[in-house]
Chains A and B, each alone.
Chain A
């Protein structure tokens, strides 16, 4: 449902942009009709706030790193009601737009943290739930067979419970949430569910559409491999029989019995149906090869956490379309009793990426905690990605490994992960290269609302305070990014907007 609307908004806003600038005079006059304007030519999707008012937000003047490989110098991001409507230069901002000045700074998509164990919502201290997790309830658009649907329905109920629990325990004022935002994280996984780190709000925090089924596949526990194989085989066999049954003419259907679901694990059915992701935790080369073969046999894309020796079998993993969730700073020596290559490598991320594996990066501890400032927890997520770059990963890939790829794993890449028209305006403004250790997140924006301002929070305001305006925006100390838009014609206009933005922000 939610997803549908997003798609709608995206499509319509594209149309809007192409409709030309003349339309800019109109936005205030739009009537607050239904949820979506029907057809009506120029008619806009009247997706509105609760108050029936449109909320405009713009980040102006920053170098926008979209997360797709491009950087737009001195560009403006304009969002309406939290969705990005337009990205470009010299945009006309509608009246009442809240403006965030990012001149001289960089704008990145908000980061996505996998496996976050935090105190933001209750019950999410440990790793994810086991098998019960699978599928998000009933998707009316899915054309799967009723029998399969029915099997997945029970899982939907269990999933709903998890979601309700997260929603009912979410603490949008948690100091840990502020710490996450200070790191640049705007979406965090909690119990296999993607949660938007909205501040001061408890509505609309869940953004997930896909879920995961944990599959145990470990050499130290050979029966787990056998068990997993059996479950896949059973689910696959059931699907085959069910499809054959469905293909029968109506008359014969009545005579024959529907195939039995006995012994079929709905989670594995979900994997084969492409409704849930199979999540493995494996690091040994043999395990990884096994998973890759299994995935190719049953045509699904595995998500492999750990994946320490992945670099030795990168080709296989790439062919299997695997996702790897890795920690570049992991250190594990090679098993010297074996001839084959092994152990951890700083190049792991780079090699996997080159072989076509979708690489996501997470730190070795996935807690937010005050004890862990610049340690190995989620507060050092960008530093961890920086170690990927040290091993040869491209900066673009490193950025995607903490934005787009984890968003894909969580099934929320239609909303977050990159800065694109139609997606949520979840962005961070930094004073330098995101992956540099000196860089601080100056602002964080979630769904077009400023939720973090370094100067106004107690944690880092005292460290290298932001230079005061109207002094020329200082080049960040990292010195990576010199001023690029100084001489541009839009400079004058932007300055006036900057002032407005400051008023609005204070």
Chain B
């Protein structure tokens, strides 16, 4: 199948020898999405992967990078980092703030991170409470704009067995409810006005009215989902629709307060949240605070020596929650008994994401080594690979665009001299969106 695709593509496409086209033939490729491929061939064109498969034939004229000893993995994705940023902040409620505001492109650290294989970073705002939204960047570019892959990728929220943190979140949701109430009232008012207009212009055709009605219903479906209040609104809207006359302009809901807007986005599933907690009890308090509201969220738990997260492993597994963890074997509280929490969570069914132990370059350089220790201690190898690529991309909402070796995805690749978890392996080259940005590859 792949072969057919490839040859079709090569026949019908523009001359392969020209343009930004490269075939990479390596001993092994870790695709993440489809397991490990031996004797893999990856075709890269215009910054994207266009084909990948075992022993694919390569059309004559396509430049080939032939390294039968090397291993290819997707570029590493660190979804939660403060690398290259130095801002500090206290506990605050600033959900509208964006970490992209403090992005500073001209630093050596970005190239160092590329050298360590990191091709995507999720940079989060400083502080505690609800300090703001993270930005996804590529560690390359002369301006902030060039670096940003996507802004506002998740809302950072700190929560736990702490009355004031819980209150911060419940208050925010309270404000959201207030806003919804406001929208509802505005809608009612608007409906009334429409009715008055209708009584003025009674002679309009029926068919037109019906068209309008459908249009409005669709618009509402887009508007809000999941919320009881929204549902009420819909019902009422339908009733009113029956009598409604057409009008030139559609209903425009009032603009939410900037501090409420992120929660509207959260509710409408346009913005996910990353919830930072410290222990198992915090998870229960988190559930208590969000009170069955449905939105997209992942968890972040910095692992220390005595995290009792295994207590809620089943619950996290059942919900298939993405859990961002530190690659560390920890101890059961009050004991010297080692527990491999990432492995336990992965086994329970949670989506494990691993980030480096710190924000420095050194921690990024030993990142894969740390993850390798977890693999040695029982973490599934494929889960470990996904934890630093595809699952991390999912936390950033970029899983459609990067994180695995699949046709159509960004060509973010690391060319390793051997197994990526092997401490002796070296990164030979790093490709970012089709360009070699680190290492030398003679053709």
Contact = CB atoms under 8 A, between A and B. Distances in A.
Contact of A173 (B163, B311, B335, B337): B311
A202 B281 contact: yes
B162 interface: yes
Interface string B154-166: 0000000111001
B428 interface: no
Indicate the size class of the contact surface on chain A. 10 to 19
Interface string A358-383: 00000000000010000000000000
Nearest to A122: B161
A201 interface: yes
B281 A370 contact: no
A170 B161 contact: yes
Interface string A437-458: 0000000000000000000001
Nearest to A161: B163
A166 to B, nearest CB: 10
Interface in A184-242: 200-203
Contact of A458 (B280, B284, B332): B332
A173 B281 contact: yes
A202 B333 contact: no
Interface in B362-404: none
B281 A171 contact: yes
Interface in A127-179: 164-165, 168-175
Given A168-B161, A458-B332, A201 B284 contact: yes
B285 interface: yes
Interface in B102-134: none
A122 B285 CA distance: 13
A212 to B, nearest CB: 22
A174 B163 contact: no
A169 B165 CA distance: 11
Contact of B333 (A122, A168, A175, A203): A175
A174 B281 contact: yes
Nearest to B315: A200
Specify which of B288, B332, B334, B337 lies most central, judged by the most chain A CB atoms within 10 Å of its CB.
B334
B288 A202 contact: yes
Nearest to A166: B163
Contacts of A164: 163
Nearest to B284: A202
A456 B332 CA distance: 14
B333 A172 contact: no
Interface in B279-298: 279-281, 284-285, 288
Contacts of A202: 281, 284-285, 288
Given A165-B163, A370-B334, A173 B288 contact: no
A168 B281 contact: no
A203 B285 CA distance: 10
Contact of A172 (B162, B284, B334, B335): B284
B161 A171 contact: yes
B378 to A, nearest CB: 19
Nearest to B165: A168
B313 to A, nearest CB: 11
Nearest to A176: B334
A168 B284 CA distance: 10
B406 interface: no
Interface string A29-64: 000000000000000000000000000000000000
A170 B332 contact: no
Given A202-B284, A202-B285, A458-B335, A173 B166 contact: no
Contacts of A122: 161-162
Contacts of B279: 171, 173
Contacts of B281: 170-174, 202
A203 B166 CA distance: 15
B158 to A, nearest CB: 14
Contacts of B337: 458
7 contacts: A168-B161, A168-B285, A171-B161, A172-B281, A173-B281, A203-B288, A458-B335
Interface of A: 122, 164-165, 168-175, 200-203, 370, 458
Given A164-B163, A168-B163, A173-B308, 19 more contacts: A122-B161, A168-B161, A168-B166, A168-B285, A169-B161, A169-B162, A169-B163, A170-B281, A173-B279, A173-B311, A175-B308, A175-B333, A175-B334, A200-B284, A201-B284, A202-B285, A203-B288, A458-B332, A458-B337
